[in-house]
Structure formats: structure tokens, C-alpha cells
Amino acid sequence: MSWLTAEQALTLLGTKSQTLYANVSRGRIRAKPDPADTRRSLYFTDDVKRLATRHAGRRKTEAVAAEAIQWGDPVLPSALSTVFNGGLFYRGQNAAKLAERASLEDVAILLWDMKRPLRLEEGEMRRKLPSLNAAFSALAERTTTDLPSLGRSLPALQGEAESVLATVADALAPGSADKPLHQRLAVAWDRPDAGDLIRRCLVLLADHELNASTFTARITASAGATLSAAALSGLSTLTGPLHGGAWQSVRSLIARAATIGAEEAVRSYLAEGRPLPAFGHQLYPDVDIRAEALLRCLTLPPLFAEVRDVGEQLVGERVNVDFAVTAMTHAFHLPEDAPLIIFALARTVGWLAHAMEQATSGRLIRPRARYVGPPLQ
């Protein structure tokens, strides 16, 4: 990622230094100390350029909206989570600090704004292994029988959210309801020693602003659909290779490194013009705090460590959470699809939180399309 000096940023923005500092304090432009002179700051180029374009005063509303939908400015209000100054926060609380002690159930209580302990009912499936297919089937079955979300009180929705989470947990973390979800997963995979890292993963992956699956869940809820339908739409989106399926690209990179060596594998990706999987993140110009929080507690398998070191040196980006979760899966000999199972279980809490927030707002999310087709007849 590229950075600008204050002089360069001010030239692009065409404003005074006070305006630049104000935009930094409001989180619109990310800044970091200049390694060459810690008394000075550098400013994230993409943030400066985006703001400079906005301030040009010649853009139409549709252009602003189009940019906002792709890693741009916030598009709707939410009290649930935000990425700010390199940190991830759930209702104002630092997610990395929460991961040191909290469980996914604790995060559900926080994000759902509940005033009582979480109660997850015993499931009926009694399956032995986590199954994504079972989660899809169970949610799909509920969508036709659950009540619509619109016009219901928050306590009523919270009670239903518990039930939906219990349904997903029964499929993805089978086990007794009196055990925390991370323990249920660890036992289901017969890896009790992985329990604490699974817990940390679940907390760190519970929510992440308006990512693709969460935005999908909010759109579903905005139409008044059931909470189970919102969770199902989020789960469907999560399976994409650019979202929850990113772990597969990491595995492919590691497999190539195992065959031809870490440095040659990284160089071959770059020579082919392909982005290196799981390095860098648009919202974290320095380091993905979720990856950092996990890697502090994990000894990387040797090949993963070598790929990380070579990749960070050649690309100039730090590994992100997809790399960390895939490395954890390998280190503890978890099933190949463990990253997606963990991701789906964790993010169900976030999807439900956003669905409830959207439903209680009473607003339909209905953007317009900017027509670029053949001339109208």
C-alpha cells in the first residue's frame, strides 16, 4: 500500500492542513508515523484520493454511491461494529481484547444488546460432525415457517435469534447445549487442545462492518423476511471464494510451496499477475488485527511461516485473517473445511445482529441501478 507525505496529501486535497488533520481524526484518512521521521505522519493514498475526488464538487450522486459500495465511505448507519485506526470494535469494545477472554456467546449478548444471558436450546439433529449442508437445510426449512421480522419488538427478535443460532450451532457445532460453542467444535473434531484458539477465532470473526454476506443479510431483513432467511442469505454469500471461501486459495498457495518451495511459489504467483492469497486487507493498511491476535497465540507450521516471511518481504503486505485461520487448521489437523465452518458459525451472530438492527429500523434497502445498456427506444 502506498502512503503520501502531508505536502503531497494537501496538494491532492487542495485544502489547509487543519482540514487534513480533521479528516484523520474522523477516520476518513488513515495515517501512520513516518519511519524516516517519527515527528511527521504519512497518509494512506487511497483515502486521500477518494476524499479529493469527493471534494472536487463535480461528481453526480450516482458516482458517489457507486464508489461507496466498493470499499468506500459508509453507506448506512450501524451501532454494531467498525474498523477504525487499525482496530476492530464491537459496540465500541476492542474485538482483539475481547478475544483474550470472551466466548462467541458473550459477543452475541453484546452485539444483540441483550440484557440477559444467552439461552441456546438443545438441538434435534444429534449429528456427530459439523456439516455446512445441514446448516443450509435447517435454515431453509425454517424460512417458510418462522414469522417475518418486520413489525416485531426487539425482545421478540432476540428470542428468535437465539433459536436461529441454536439451529445453526446444531449443524456446525454439534454437542450439548450446556457447553460453549468453541468447546463443542473442538470436541466434535476430536481436538480439545484447539478449543482456545477456536474460541478466539469465533470472537474475531463474529462481525466486520458491512462485508458482502452481512450486507446481503441486511437487505434480506430490510424486506421483512425472517431472521432465518437473513442468516441463510448471509451463509450463501459467505461460501464465495472472495469471502469465506478464501481459505481454499491459501491452501493452494501452501500446496504449491510444498512442491516448489516457498519463495518460488510466491514468485510464480506474482509472475503470473495473480494477487497473493491472504496478504493485505483493504480496511487494514498496516496489519489485519484479527490475524495478529491469532498469530500471537499460534506457532505457525514451518511451511506457513516460510510463505508468510517470503510473501511479506516480496509483496510488502502482512498476512490477513484467512491465512491465520488456515494455518491454525493445519497446525491442529482440523478438517479441511474447518475455516469455513468456524467462519459461518461466528458470522451467524453478526448476521442476526444486523438483521435485527435493520428490521427494527423499518427501512427497505433499495438502491437504484445506473443504466449503461443500449439506448432506450
Instruction: Just list the catalytic residues.
Output: 281, 322
Angle at which helix 302-315 crosses helix 247-260, to 10 degrees, equals 100
Q: What are phi and psi of 281, to 5 degrees?
A: -155, 135
Q: Can you say how many angstroms the Cα of residue 115 is from the centroid of all Cα atoms in its chain?
A: 26
Please state at what angle helix 154-172 crosses helix 181-188, rounded to 10 degrees.
20
Taking each helix axis from N to C terminus, what angle separates 321-331 and 302-315, rounded to the nearest 10 degrees? 160
Q: What is the rounded distance in angstroms from the CA atom of residue 168 to the CA atom of residue 162?
A: 10
Which residues does residue 261 pair with via DSSP β-bridges, in sequence order? none
Q: Which of 122, 105, 125 is nearest to 114 (CA)?
A: 105
Cα–Cα distance measured from residue 245 to residue 298, given in angstroms and rounded to the nearest whole number: 22
The Cα 222–Cα 365 span in angstroms is 6
Instruction: Write the single-letter amino acid at 96.
Output: A
CA distance 257 to 264: 7
How far is C-alpha 272 from the geometric centre of its chain's CA atoms?
28
Backbone φ, ψ for residue 93 (5° rounding): -100, 135
